[in-house]
Amino acid sequence: MSRLSSRHLLGIKDLTSEDLQLILETAANFKEVINRPIKKVPSLRDITIANVFFENSTRTKLSFELAEKRLSADVVNFSSSNSSVKKGESLVDTVNNILSMKVDMVVMRHSSPGAPHFLSRNVKANIINAGDGTHEHPTQALLDSFSIQEKLGDVAGKKVAIIGDILHSRVALSNIFCLQKLGAEVMVCGPITLLPKHIASLGVKVELDVKKALQWCDVANVLRIQLERQQIKYFPSMREYSLYYGIDKAMLDELDKEIVIMHPGPINRGVELNSDVADSEQSIILHQVENGVAVRMAVLYLLAGAN
């Protein structure tokens, strides 16, 4: 198999396990490319890509832009904060105006779940979901799985605990789908107020005690508290959350094995992770950032060939 089953990347849920393996294999090739002295390849020389971000982003936007430039694509950046969206222009009109300038692919982040799916049904370009509200963030899940594979040799058979604000996290849902399709066991852990009501129906284990979750897992993927998405208080204070769910080096030293620590960023140091964990030898957080470029290069390359 050398082509994806879809011409869009809207979510991990829509991909087959063969699609995931193809993306990870292609990413491994591009990882080699970005570590060469000359990091550029002419693969997308005739392709124009628009990065359309309706929400703030640092890592994802930079990572996509760098991936596009490494592939020699022409890049257009769009930010809703200084656009006609402020004047009442609709999402479809905004994107169609961009596409009328002969743009081939759209990378989009939006606060509304399902926005990329809606767009894919209404415009002709390839759509890549860079995060839609609390729904999915497929390229983050792909780079997380790629990082686990790189560190531990394989994803299949590994135990991965996703710890933190599961309720508001698009990273959590995409990771659950991706890890399960690649053969991993998944556990979610957090305060019961931050766990979706029917999360167990996705086939994941549910744990409220962070120490038990750490003892169970091979990999802990720790999520931040997404205060910007919370309309009500889900726990008394950040200090209390840190006291019960914050991870420090002493907790890791108590375990009878060494586990891998991951975080999609940005880290709230002293809340979900102490610096002695985030900067430890067990942490692969910066490797995740590096791998993000290779994985996004793979996605762009494969979707460009899907037309």
- Cite the annotated binding site by residue number: 59-60, 87, 109, 137, 140, 170, 224, 265-266
DSSP assigned state of 302: H
Give Cβ neighbours of residue 250 (< 8 Å, ≥ 6 apart). Answer: none
Give the integer Cα–Cα distance in Å for 156 and 148. Answer: 10
Give the integer Cα–Cα distance in Å for 213 and 207. Answer: 6
- Cite the annotated binding site for L-aspartate by residue number: 87, 170, 224
Burial class (CB in 10 A: 0-12, 13-18, 19+), 163: buried
- Cite the annotated binding site for carbamoyl phosphate by residue number: 59-60, 109, 137, 140, 265-266
Give Cβ neighbours of residue 227 (< 8 Å, ≥ 6 apart). Answer: none
Identify the CA nearest to 53 among candidates 15, 12, 91.
91
- CA distances in angstroms from 245 to 56, 134, 202, 224, 255, listed in the order given: 26, 21, 23, 11, 16
Give Cβ neighbours of residue 157 (< 8 Å, ≥ 6 apart). Answer: 183, 184, 185
Q: Token digits for 142?
A: 């792909």
